[in-house]
Copies of this chain bind each other. A is one copy, B any other.
């Protein structure tokens, strides 16, 4: 009977315990940053909101920067996985269009996680090497993905051979970041964000399409 009297203090393995506290604290931190900004998120509150003590977050992650890095890695992975899912089996312009549409959709849905992910992304512009390392990794991987799509498109004959792969990929990534910035600053202008994504697709078409006619077709694939 005291089996029932005891609250739901389920017995968990240690690995389960840390995993659980990790996700609880990440969720808490994301919630706090989404509502109060990055500087408004405090390790103390993260611990307490996650159902632990003051110092829990500090103890697990050491420093606030470490927690942020962990969040970037975590959400960044989810994010890359979702994007790759959307692009599955496509290559060349089709892949880029699919990725852009997926990006537009995700951003439109406006999940807290993504918003905070990009907030952190933009916060790592200082000379502090800590966060930057992580960001640069995610960033490089993104750009490599885009380059791969273009190269696959070239070898499949769907993209013009003389396309400057690295430059175009860099432009794509830069524009995506610019669009995200707009979104973060003015989350209400969903229409504009959508237009910017469409414009990006068009721009990539003009840069990569084999012939003029391909590039001219604006291709409103989404919605």
Contact = CB atoms under 8 A, between A and B. Distances in A.
A61 interface: no
A202 to B, nearest CB: 8
Interface residues of A, number: 45
Given A123-B125, A167-B195, A196-B171, A136 B186 contact: yes
Query: Which A-B residue pairs are the 9 nearest by beta carbons?
Result: A37-B126, A174-B178, A178-B178, A177-B178, A122-B122, A125-B184, A37-B128, A171-B199, A122-B125
A181 interface: yes
Interface in A160-186: 167-168, 170-171, 173-179, 181-182, 184-186
A40 interface: yes
Interface string A108-131: 000000000011001111111000
A139 B185 contact: yes
Interface string A2-13: 000000000000
